[in-house]
């Protein structure tokens, strides 16, 4: 999802438009998470960017996406660019967790 949202609307106030943007993002995430995973993947991960435009967008964690939108609105920006790309996260090949730690390091 690569989309630029405009916050200006002749009849709808800005906070309602922001709520609508967040709802669209939530719907997109749900739709992507419900897609079938590739055979070697554990779950869906998301690369997210948010900013005033595509050129000024910065990478953020998925959990910080709404905060980034709120910050842009608080700064008075009337456009919000959101980019969310789904990627399958593969199972790690390290195996058991206990194998990855050396027991001598834990005894010190």
Residue 37 domain flag? yes
Residue 20 domain flag? yes
Strands (E), 7-78: 41-51, 58-60
What is the spatial distance between Cα 40 and Cα 87, in angstroms, rounded to a whole number? Answer: 12
Q: What is the DSSP letter of 52?
A: S
- pTM to 2 decimal places: 0.79
Label the pairing between strands 79-90 and 2-6. antiparallel
Label the pairing between strands 2-6 and 41-51. unpaired
Least-confidence region, from 1-15, 16-30, 93-107: 93-107
Residue 104 domain flag? no
Residue 96 domain flag? no
Residue 101 domain flag? no
Domain that holds residue 50: 2-90
Residue 108 domain flag? no
What is the spatial distance between Cα 108 and Cα 98, in angstroms, rounded to a whole number? Answer: 17
Residue 8 domain flag? yes
Total number of domains in the chain: 1
Whole-Å CA distances, 89 to 3, 13, 33, 37, 108: 24, 39, 12, 9, 34
Residue 105 domain flag? no
13-56, pLDDT tens digit by residue? Answer: 999 999 999 999 999 999 999 999 999 999 999 999 999 999 99
């Amino acid at each position: 999802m690569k989309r630029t949202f405009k916050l200006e609307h002749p009849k709808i106030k800005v906070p309602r438009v922001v709520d609508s943007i967040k709802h669209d993002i939530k719907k997109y995430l749900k739709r992507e998470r419900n897609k079938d995973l590739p055979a070697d993947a554990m779950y869906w991960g998301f690369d997210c960017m948010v900013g005033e435009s595509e050129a000024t967008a910065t990478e953020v964690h998925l959990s910080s996406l709404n905060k980034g939108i709120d910050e842009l609105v608080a700064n008075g920006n009337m456009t919000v660019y959101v980019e969310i790309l789904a990627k399958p996260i593969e199972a790690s090949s390290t195996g058991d967790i206990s194998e990855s730690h050396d027991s001598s390091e834990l005894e010190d």
